[in-house]
Chain A
Amino acid sequence: MALDKPYQDVPGTTIFDAEQSRLGYHLNQFCMSLMKAENRARFKADERAYLDQWPMTEEQKQAVLARDLNWCIRLGGNIYFLAKIGATDGKSFQQMAGSMTGMTEEEYRDMMIAGGRSIEGNRVVGEDGDAQPHRQPQGKSQQKAGA
């Protein structure tokens, strides 16, 4: 019998459960290795060679090289682990979180200062809030590019 996962209909959200953790084990452990300064230096010197030392899938490596955090999360990554990549790149948590919305850094920061993203329309998949799949990516530049 399948386990109850009531969180699967929350839009724009991946819950890091035991299944995601299993998928992302080596990806997340690679991220942990970046807590050591010498590993950060080795990774920066040759990212591909460093990644090849880990038993990650090719797609996970591509997602890391692309710095596409949404992609990493789909493949089992967790934001607190992925944050080690951001730290290696000199990025803040706000820059990392913002990068997953499609907004520019400034647009995301302004949204937070204005009180954050509204919950209205963003509780359940199928509503019309700005985090819903049919409204991605967010941000003015993205919308122009897509138009």
Chain B
Amino acid sequence: MARITASVYTSHVPAIGAALDLGKAGEPYWQKVFSGYDFSKQWLKDNTPDVIFLVYNDHANAFSLELIPTFAIGCAAEFAIADEGWGPRPVPVVKGHPELAAHIAQSVIQDDFDLTIVNRMPVDHGLTVPLSLMCGQPQAWPCPVIPFAVNVVQYPVPSGRRCFNLGRAIRKAVASFDAPLKVQIWGTGGMSHQLQGPRAGLINREFDTAFLDQLIADPATLAQKPHIDYVREAGSEGIELVMWLIARGAMSDNPPKVAHRFYHVPASNTAVGHLILENT
């Protein structure tokens, strides 16, 4: 049987990808960000899974306003790197895991979550920046990746409670897959940031710290937090943090081992948060 071994949480700021791609990673501004992932790169080498289930959001790249799926699961064998307007990032193509993805889709839809199945979906910085942070600049990503895109661009976005319960359904689906795969689930986006209007640049360290604490220790209560609290306290784009609850819901009910924790302000407009939790 397949099982979820660990979860990884990280911001997915586009400027981080640009810094890496343009050779600026060594600059003091960026070194402060990347140093938080030194441990993580080694950890991933030591704990390479068979598949990564990567929860992220598309930023008007794969999905325009023609089609706005709340939850989209990538079931293809391969996913191209999106051109977001600056040209595609020079990173390896993303190989999928169609067998496990199709299995999860079948199981989770029967658990009453309406996933949209996608077989053609260019992946943007929301997916590639976490891979870059965790893997550096390899010739190929270390394992297949199942992209799972969540609408957090057009309101209403799914609630934290729904995301957390979806994570539980994904956990159940993975456990019923008939092959001994080690699966990691990554939740990305956040932390506090706002990219629009006179309130652009908002950062709320206190909110972010409390969110990290509660995500580790009491995610079921955290999942009850209403949208408006994210918008008001963490900025209009801080709402991305609901995606972390999908990854957390997929973890065992036992308290996790906190393998790594990191927080830094700023990367461009955003507070960078990062956690690695292992199932015990």
Contacts and interface: CB of A to CB of B under 8 A. Distances in A.
Interface of A: 6-7, 10-18, 21, 25, 28-29, 31-32, 34-35, 40, 69-70, 73, 78-81, 83-84, 86-88, 92-94, 96-98, 100-102, 108, 111-113, 115-117, 119, 122-124, 131, 133, 136-138
14 contacts: A11-B198, A18-B155, A35-B85, A81-B60, A84-B60, A84-B85, A87-B86, A92-B15, A94-B269, A112-B201, A116-B192, A116-B203, A119-B202, A119-B206
Interface string B229-273: 001110011000000000000000000000000000110110100
Interface of B: 14-15, 18, 29, 59-61, 64-66, 83-86, 153-156, 192, 194-207, 227-228, 231-233, 236-237, 265-266, 268-269, 271
B223 to A, nearest CB: 19
Contacts of A7: 155, 227-228, 231-232
Contacts of B236: 10, 13-15
B62 to A, nearest CB: 11
B202 A116 contact: yes
A116 B266 contact: yes
Contacts of A6: 228
Nearest to A132: B198
Contacts of B84: 35, 83-84, 87
A16 B228 contact: no
Contacts of B265: 112, 115-116
A124 B158 CA distance: 23
Given A14-B197, A92-B268, A115-B203, A80 B228 contact: no
A98 B196 contact: no
Contacts of A115: 203, 205, 265-266
Interface-centre pick from A32, A73, A88, A108 (highest chain B CB count, 10 A):
A32
A108 to B, nearest CB: 6
A15 B155 contact: yes
Contact of B85 (A88, A101, A112, A122): A88
Nearest to A21: B154
B266 A28 contact: no
B231 A10 contact: yes
Rank and list the top 7 A-B pairs by shortest CB-CB distance, nearest first: A116-B203, A87-B85, A12-B199, A12-B198, A131-B199, A80-B60, A17-B155
Contacts of B194: 13, 97, 117
